[in-house]
Amino acid sequence: MAGAAGRLDRRLRAVEARHTARRATIVADPPFDPARLTEAELTELEPLKRRVAWRDGRPDFAALSDAEFERLAWLYYKGKGRAWRGGS
């Protein structure tokens, strides 16, 4: 019984460490700043954002083609001051 409790304790500590690291990453992530985008990019971004549905509090990108999703992600990352490294 003590061995199982020790294994469970190690697993729970590992999960908590992952959660803590994830929260720290989210907090350190720069916010989206529309000023980083040009006027043309902002006009391109709005219709793409409107086509993204939200289901259970999460975005559903199924309505976008792969090229549209790549462009949306590129614009979003540029607005955060980061480089989009491409998807799949």
Q: Domain extents for the chain?
A: 1-30, 31-88
SS3 69: helix
Other CB atoms within 10 A of residue 75 CB = 20
Residue 72 near residue 45, CB atoms below 8 Å? yes
pLDDT in tens, 41-84: 999 999 999 999 999 999 999 999 999 999 999 999 999 888 77
Residue with tokens 């006009």: 43
H or E element at residue 87: none
- Please state, for a pLDDT cut of 70, what percent of the chain lies above it: 94
